Amino acid sequence: MLSRVAARVYWTARYLERVENTARLLSVFNSLLLDLPSGVNLGWYNLVIINGSEEGFERRYKVRNERNVLRFMIADVNNTSSIVNMIHWVKENLRTSRDVLPSETWELINELNMFVRENITAGINKGSRHEFLDHIVRACQQIVGLMVGVMSRDAGWHFLQLGRNIERADMTTRFLDAGAAMIMNEADSPNRDQIVWNNVLSSASAIQAYLRETGSEVSGSDVVEFLVENSQFPRSLKYCLHRVKSCIDELPRNKQLSVTAGSVLEFSLKTIDYNKLGQELRDYLNDLQVRICELHDEISENWFAV
């Protein structure tokens, strides 16, 4: 497989995963904010923080309100991680790697692109927002489902999985980090912890799996442990990083990378004190993000360098 094509397939998966996660996140916030007792300051701006795009936002908007956050995250062409932009990049990457991905994915991404462009205001307005975001999530899943259903498990497939799982692992650290930050920054209020950690779970679509696994109510330490260590849930760090390693093991010239991936996995499982969810957790997540980033660099260096 061509190095350039491998890179594009990998990025297709990353962007696609990020589009879906962003839409999910917006959707979760949308319904969660309706449930919150007034006075709890769990605002829309947290989404910008989770994405690590405070700087980009501040440059463009004065007011950190719902409308601006949504416009920024959905429609703003100046925001590299807005939904519109990321779909554009999925499309561009797909377009230039059409020969290795199922041809129908190309039609589906065109459809999604058309839908988003035509309905962009529906996403920003309150009334139709849920349908809009739901459509995006479904469209992403349809594309992923198509790939799962028809692709040979060859190198292209492994790069797709690699991209998806690295992106997922990264997103999960961000969800957890957002939780830790909120706990540290918000004043203690009734139900605060429960609302925050519930929010974290929902962002990763993990509530159902969490409840079945733990059989207990939502508590911070259990949520963190679940999203870090659970070996069955596809968005837990352990699961994602394990998949990353096994994809790497399937690809050629992988020796050094396999070692690196193994050490990232090991680091993620290094005992953290699940009773200390403040700065310690944030430091751990930060270290992990840096390592994932280094792993990504090593992947590009090894396989994509042209």
Partner 1 sequence: MSIDWNEYQPNQFYDELIRQPGKPRPAGRKLAGYLCKLTEQELTERRNAAEVTIQQMGVSFTVYTDGQNIDRSWPFDIIPRVIDSKQWQSTELGLKQRLKALNMFINDLYHDQNIIKDGVIPEHIIKESKNFRKECVGVTPPHGVWAHICGTDLVRDEDGKFYVLEDNLRVPSGVSYMLENRAITKRVFPELFESVRILPNNAYPAELLKMLGSLSPRKIKQPQIVVLTPGIFNSAYFEHAFLAQEMGAELVEGSDLVVNDDNVVYMKTISGLERVDVIYRRIDDLFLDPEVFNKESVLGVPGLMRAWKAGKVALANAPGAGVADDKVVYAYVPKIIEYYLGEKAILPNVETFLCEDPEQRAYVLANLEKLVVKPANESGGYGMLVGPHSTKKMRDTFAELISSNPRNYIAQPTLKLSTAPSLVEGTQPKPRHLDLRPFVLQGKSMYCTTGGLTRVAMKEGSLVVNSSQGGGSKDTWIVDMEKR
CB 242 within 8 A of CB 234: no
Rg (CA), the chain: 19
Tell me whether residue 61 or residue 304 sits nearer to partner 1 (CB atom): 304
Residue 252 interacts with partner 1 (CB under 8 A): yes or no: yes
Closest approach of Cβ 144 to partner 1, in Å? 19
Count of residues touching partner 1 (by CB under 8 A): 23
Tell me whether residue 110 or residue 141 sits nearer to partner 1 (CB atom): 110
Q: What residues contact 225, with CB distance under 8 A and at least 6 apart?
A: 274
Residue 6 interacts with partner 1 (CB under 8 A): yes or no: yes
Residue 80 interacts with partner 1 (CB under 8 A): yes or no: no
Residue 152 interacts with partner 1 (CB under 8 A): yes or no: no
Residue 3 interacts with partner 1 (CB under 8 A): yes or no: yes
Closest approach of Cβ 109 to partner 1, in Å? 8
CB 256 within 8 A of CB 302: yes
Closest approach of Cβ 193 to partner 1, in Å? 46
CB 73 within 8 A of CB 47: yes
Residue 95 interacts with partner 1 (CB under 8 A): yes or no: yes
Tell me whether residue 4 or residue 126 sits nearer to partner 1 (CB atom): 4
Residue 261 interacts with partner 1 (CB under 8 A): yes or no: no
Tell me whether residue 3 or residue 125 sits nearer to partner 1 (CB atom): 3
Residue 151 interacts with partner 1 (CB under 8 A): yes or no: no
CB 304 within 8 A of CB 4: yes
Residue 4 interacts with partner 1 (CB under 8 A): yes or no: yes
What SS3 state is found at 91? helix
- Give the interface segment with partner 1, choosing from 93-101, 135-143, 260-268, 269-277 (CB under 8 A): 93-101
CA-CA distance, 121 to 78, in Å (whole number)?
Answer: 17
Tell me whether residue 155 or residue 288 sits nearer to partner 1 (CB atom): 155
The residue from 30, 33, 88, 96 that contacts partner 1 (CB under 8 A) is 96
Tell me the angle at which helices 83-95 and 103-118 cross, rounded to the nearest 10 degrees.
150
Closest approach of Cβ 107 to partner 1, in Å? 5
DSSP, residue by residue, 136-187: HHHHHHHHHHHHHHH--SSHHHHHHHHHHHHHHHHHHHHHHHHHHHHHHHSP
Tell me whether residue 99 or residue 188 sits nearer to partner 1 (CB atom): 99
User: Residue 233, by phi and psi: left (phi above 0), alpha (psi -120 to 50) or beta?
Assistant: beta
In the chain, what is the straight-line distance between the N-terminal and C-terminal CA atoms, in Å? 13
Residue 155 interacts with partner 1 (CB under 8 A): yes or no: yes
Query: Residue 123 corresponds to which amino acid?
Result: G
The residue from 64, 98, 130, 138 that contacts partner 1 (CB under 8 A) is 98
Instruction: Of 47, 52, 37, give the one whose Cα is nearest residue 68.
Output: 47
Contact set with partner 1 (CB under 8 A): 1-6, 92, 95-96, 98-99, 103, 106-107, 110-111, 114, 155, 251-253, 303, 306
